[in-house]
Amino acid sequence: MKAIVAVDLDWGIGYKGQLLERIPEDMKFFKEKTLGKIIIMGRETLESLPGKKPLKDRTNIVLTKNRRYDDNKNMIVSHSLKELFQETNKYNEEEVFVIGGESVYSQLLPYCSECYVTKIENNYEADKHFADLDRQNGWKQIWQSEEKKYNDISFKFTKYINEKPKRQNRIQVTD
């Protein structure tokens, strides 16, 4: 599986349930990468989306421990990592994207082989963060775009790879 995220200079990703910034070109990049694919998100991230609805033209998998949270036919609900992996094992793992938020990224990052990181060259007030991949063992940046501008904000797209992703089927998941 892969992850896709937008971070600020401190690897902040969110504040009070929302994104730190909405950059149209980043939204377009996210859409291009995930369209037609399988996306995994936490219940909080689902509820931050417009209308609290799953994203169109993608297979949406939502993690929640709430057993009654499965009345929406447009998404698949998983109640644990074990259930999630039973679901994701049905797909080509190249097509599975972890799209947040903080708690889901932190649990699934070890299983990701690649991560697209949009780096926003700005500091925001943030209460949710992503792991600093420049300090994570096994993670290496292999690509970055040229610097881009949105109003007075600079940003760039980058790609990291994980040299030793954990294999889902070798891990004993207990929750």
Ligand X SMILES: NC(=O)c1ccc[n+]([C@@H]2O[C@H](COP(=O)([O-])OP(=O)(O)OC[C@H]3O[C@@H](n4cnc5c(N)ncnc54)[C@H](OP(=O)(O)O)[C@@H]3O)[C@@H](O)[C@H]2O)c1
List interacting residues with ligand X (CB under 6 A). Answer: 5-6, 13-14, 17-19, 41-45, 48, 63-66, 79-81, 99-104, 107, 128, 175
Nearer to ligand X among residue 59 and residue 119 (C-beta): 119
Least distance (Å) between residue 7 CB and ligand X: 6
Of the candidates 123, 120, 129, 124, the residue with the CA atom closest to the CA atom of residue 157? 120
Smaller CB distance to ligand X: residue 59 or 84?
84
Q: State in angstroms the smallest separation of the CB of 19 from ligand X.
A: 5
Q: What gap in Å lies between CA 29 and CA 23, rounded to an integer?
A: 10
Q: Nearer Cβ to ligand X, position 91 or 124?
A: 124
CB-wise, 82 or 161, nearer to ligand X? Answer: 82
Question: Smallest gap, in angstroms, from Cβ of residue 36 to ligand X?
Answer: 19
Query: Tokens representing 93?
Result: 């793992």
CB of 121 to ligand X, least distance (A): 15
